[in-house]
Chain A
C-alpha cells in the first residue's frame, strides 16, 4: 500500500523567512496531493493541493511542487508569519474504489516573531 514520509518533524523559522516541508510517496498510482494545516484544537484544513498532471502550484505565500519521477512533493511558505505556526500534513490519494488518503506524520512549524 501507499506510504507517505514527511520531513522534518519540527521546523522553527524566524518571521519573514521561508519554510520548506518535504514529502515522499511510494505508490506511483497516487495522483492527488493535498496539504493540510492543523491549528491547536481544530481539525486539519486544506491549504493547497496539486494533481499529478501539474508540476507546481502557487497561492499567495504558499506553493507546492511535485516531482512525479522522484515521487517527491514539497510545500513552500514564504514570508512566514506567526499565524503560520501550526502542524502541516502532506497526503497522497489514489482512486481505489473510493478516496483513501494516506497522511504524512506531520511537521510542527514554529514561526518566531
Chain B
C-alpha cells in the first residue's frame, strides 16, 4: 500500500499567485480530510469529504480557499489568490469511514505539502 500521496511536497510562490495542492487517498478509503498545520494554530481541519461529497467546510479560512474531490482517488485544495499568511504545511488524510454503525476510523496522513508564500 502506497499510503496517502500528496504533491507537491514543497511549494514556493509569490503573493497573489494561485496554488493547487493535490492528494491521492488510500484505495478503498471513502473519507478524505484536508488539514493545515502552523506553529501558532496547530493542526486545523479545513474540510472533509465522505464518498466524494463535502461534509463540513467550516474550517476553510475564507473564500480564497476551495477544495474539490471529483472522484474517489483524487482531491485538490486550491488557494487563489495566495497570501503570506497561508504559509503552512498542508496535510491530506484518508480513512475507511463509516462501517455499519461503528465508531470513527483511523485517519492516515500523507507526508504534507510545505507551502511558502512570499
Query: Which A residues have a C-beta under 8 Å from some C-beta of B?
Result: 31-32, 34, 36, 42-46, 49, 51-52, 89, 93-103, 105-106
Contacts and interface: CB of A to CB of B under 8 A. Distances in A.
B66 interface: no
Given A93-B104, A99-B97, 10 more contacts: A32-B104, A44-B43, A52-B103, A93-B103, A97-B50, A98-B98, A99-B104, A100-B56, A105-B42, A106-B42
Contact of B42 (A42, A52, A103): A103
B25 interface: no
Contact of A31 (B55, B104, B112): B104
Given A44-B43, A106-B43, A99 B107 contact: yes
Interface of B: 4, 31, 33, 42-43, 45, 48, 50, 55-56, 91, 93, 95, 97-98, 103-112
Contact of A98 (B43, B56, B106, B111): B56
Nearest to B107: A101
A10 B36 CA distance: 21
B31 A103 contact: no
Nearest to A43: B109
Contact of A32 (B31, B43, B103): B103
Nearest to B93: A43
A17 B105 CA distance: 31
A43 B42 contact: no
25 contacts: A31-B104, A32-B104, A36-B109, A42-B111, A42-B112, A43-B4, A43-B91, A43-B112, A44-B91, A45-B109, A46-B106, A46-B107, A89-B43, A95-B98, A95-B104, A96-B56, A97-B50, A98-B31, A98-B97, A98-B98, A99-B31, A99-B50, A100-B48, A101-B33, A103-B45
